[in-house]
Chain A
């Protein structure tokens, strides 16, 4: 009987504490042009980190971005921009490429490179970005500042006429911070 219960426990022991999750990550986006600076915050990012495989996944609810100006928020969600009713999520699915340099059991700050697929409005592009994994007293957090280049390639923010100038930059700076717990 003891053996059986041990066997039953084995899978949970083997896979124990390899998957971390947050449902409250913070993403800030920043766009700057001659016309104006635009910034928005989102505190509803869901993300997972698998310490065994190095897989990282992010899901960002588009409608949770809050802008200082209500009008900007309205434009952001509109059909010709993010079309958030049709595409309510931004997704990134990738892997830590230098997984072996992270010691998940020891406190410290580990620089990581994450490569994977970013999907906005059903358009998927491969990106590779730098970030930091911080481990402190068994708590795991992830930080990154990176730039999504060529936002119009994701069918976002293309002005209707070519003559019209775009008020949104082609490159959007993203700042992310999330604190993870064992799933």
Chain B
């Protein structure tokens, strides 16, 4: 076999392997490590909620799917159907609802109502008043952890 053909075959084979590897990697792409991520914004719960209430679309574009550190006062501590701790930071009539993970739950266990905390998590939904629910919807943070 000619040397050039050999090189070509090797190149094609390498190409196939690399393409296969990329597809396999994409398919099994790891989930975003929110807990290990630094916050893009640091903000008071009160201001965070107000921004969504006064300028919904701009705040959606700014905050949704980003990691944010929110500081505020603990108003409620609950648990969801997955036994993850859910800590509410009150802000006016609304608030910021922060869901922890089974790994970070222990950090929330030491909290009491009235504590001042900084909680970091990924923003899933903004705060708003919903006429149909007749409720103030809380801003939703998930994969939370206490930063201070």
Contacts and interface: CB of A to CB of B under 8 A. Distances in A.
Given A24-B78, A71-B26, A85-B64, A63 B124 contact: yes
B140 interface: yes
A44 B148 CA distance: 25
B97 interface: yes
Contacts of B135: 21, 46, 48, 183
A16 interface: no
B3 interface: no
B72 interface: no
A63 B30 contact: no
Given A24-B81, A46-B137, A70 B125 contact: no
Given A44-B140, A77-B65, A91 B80 contact: no
A57 B27 CA distance: 36
Contacts of A47: 133
A85 B133 contact: no
Nearest to B32: A70
A131 interface: no
Nearest to A77: B65
A70 B64 contact: no
A108 interface: no
What DSSP secondary structure best describes chain A's contact surface?
A: strand
Interface in B58-115: 60-61, 64-65, 78, 80-82, 84, 86, 97, 99
A111 interface: no
A73 B27 CA distance: 11
B29 A63 contact: no
B65 A44 contact: no
A88 B60 contact: yes
Contact of A69 (B29, B124, B130, B132): B29
Contacts of B26: 71
B86 A24 contact: yes
A64 interface: yes
Contacts of B138: 23
Nearest to A65: B124
Interface in A67-87: 69-71, 73-74, 77, 84-86
8 contacts: A23-B138, A46-B133, A63-B124, A64-B124, A71-B26, A71-B29, A73-B31, A84-B64
